């Protein structure tokens, strides 16, 4: 599944318009369609298997965010990548 497809699923589940919710910047415009979420390596290397369907995992994550929104909204929004 591409990252764009995943975000579209999340927007649909949250009754949000994808085009109004996402901002594409020149530095990544068109590149995200090249990136795919793939668990094949984890399955092969670690003998891992998912415990939930993707749709169910998204639903439970949305429910968690709604339940704990008052805590989450107080967190810093600026992500700084650390090596």
- Mind listing the pLDDT tens digit for each residue in 20-61? 998 876 665 566 556 778 899 999 999 999 999 999 999 999
Rounded (10°) CA dihedral 76, 15, 19, 68: 10
Confidence of residue 3 (pLDDT cuts 50, 70, 90): confident
Rounded Cα distance, 1 and 58, in Å: 14
Chain centre distance of CA 76: 18
Rounded (10°) CA dihedral 52, 6, 9, 23: 150
Rounded Cα distance, 52 and 2, in Å: 18
pLDDT for residue 23: 83
- pTM for this model (two decimals): 0.72
Check residue 20 and report its DSSP letter: H
């Amino acid at each position: 599944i591409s990252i764009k497809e995943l975000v579209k699923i999340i927007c649909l589940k949250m009754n949000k318009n994808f085009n109004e919710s996402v901002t594409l910047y020149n530095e990544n415009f068109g590149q995200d369609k090249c990136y795919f979420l793939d668990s094949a390596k984890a399955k092969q290397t670690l003998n891992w298997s998912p415990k939930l369907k993707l749709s169910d995992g998204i639903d439970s994550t949305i429910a968690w965010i709604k339940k704990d929104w008052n805590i989450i909204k107080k967190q810093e929004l600026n992500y700084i990548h650390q090596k």
